[in-house]
Amino acid sequence: MNVTVFQTEDELIYCYSGINGSCTKRFHSSALQSALCILFSVGTILTITGNIMVIISICLFKQLHSPTNFLILSLAIADFLLGATVLPFSAVRAIDTCWYFGEAFCTFHTSLDGGICVTSIFHVCLIAVDRYFAIIYPLIYPIRFTVCTTVFLLIFAWTVSMGYVFFLFYSGVANEGLEELIMAISCKGNCQILTNAKWGLINSLIFFIPFSLMTCMYGRIFMVAKKQAKLIESLADQTGAAGKNSNRVRKRERKAATTLGIAMLAFVACLLPYFIISVIDGFHNIIIPPFVYDIIIGIYYFNSALNPLIYAIFYPWFRKSIKLIVACKIFTSDFITINVFKQ
């Protein structure tokens, strides 16, 4: 619980004591500060270590070198970067309620944070498209979704996402019309960048349009997968071993679609509050209370730690690869030939 204490002018604590224009610190009880320290520490460790495991697994084991897994690999890199470069500074701001890293780094930190967020949205959308073609059009999927095509799409997603967000914050277009409001809340030790209604709407569309498309695609995927399951079962009875092998392949495709669909739902649930406050902030010029803002940002960060946990629960190959990595089997001469799909 956030405890509010009424302080007199003499009792105020500033982020930078003795400096005019310094922000005042918000009061956090010792229990709340300890809880925040534990949550951010655990969250950062899980985000970094979990995504490193995903990165190492897909990079080292050749059996995992598929277009779908390269999309997962790139998403894990984005989550790892968030945990290693963004989360620690956001943790200091949330726990100590002040920003000590300067105005220039505040803009860079916010740009990097937003760029990774938009990149993740592109990745989740590309994963949905990948699963859509794999299930709905299985014959043309290997032709259209090659490794080269996937790499090109990933380079495009990273370039456009980072370029868009860095332009948005460094060009100043996001602040047009908010000059008076920014001056009113400006103080040394604050790092909460505002976005006007126009760009707030564009940012919201970047989230809601892909979300709508992904919902439609996954809805169609599960409808078709259900029909295919019945058809494959009937064919397996007639064709014997060949049918059983085809059945295993299709089951793997459907399981991948289910797992990545769950990851998409988790992603949407974690990001939705952030984009809702962006709309409120942009269209109504309402300043979100810093404590509420930190909670919503914390929920968004939680998604980066959640993805590896989802893979660990639903992907046997990921669990096996973790065991091999922890047991240092990747340093043996025959690790390349290890079958991570074999239980």
Q: How confident is the model at residue 54 (pLDDT cuts 50, 70, 90)?
A: very high
Phi, psi of 246 (to 5 degrees): -65, -35
Cross-strand bridge partners of residue 188? 22
Ranges of each domain in the chain: 9-337
Return the biggest CA–CA distance within the chain: 86
Q: How confident is the model at residue 325 (pLDDT cuts 50, 70, 90)?
A: confident
Q: How far is CA 39 from the centre of its chain?
A: 18
Q: What is the rounded distance in angstroms from the CA atom of residue 229 to the CA atom of residue 219?
A: 16
Name which residue leads in pLDDT, 285 or 170: 170
| Residue pair 243/235 in contact by the 8 Å Cβ criterion | yes
Q: pLDDT (tens digit, 9 = 90+) per residue, 138-172?
A: 889 999 889 999 999 999 999 999 999 999 999 98
Query: H helices of 285-315, where?
Result: 290-314
pLDDT recorded at residue 84: 94
Gyration radius of the chain over CA positions: 23
Query: 3.30.1330.10, 1.10.10.10, 1.10.340.30, 1.20.1070.10: which CATH number matches 9-337?
Result: 1.20.1070.10
Q: What is the rounded distance in angstroms from the CA atom of residue 57 to the CA atom of residue 69?
A: 10
Phi, psi of 288 (to 5 degrees): -70, 130
Give the tokens for residue 61. 């084991």
Per the prediction, the chain carries an average pLDDT of 82
pLDDT recorded at residue 15: 87
Q: pLDDT (tens digit, 9 = 90+) per residue, 5-44?
A: 444 444 678 888 878 888 888 877 788 888 889 988 998 9
pLDDT recorded at residue 237: 58
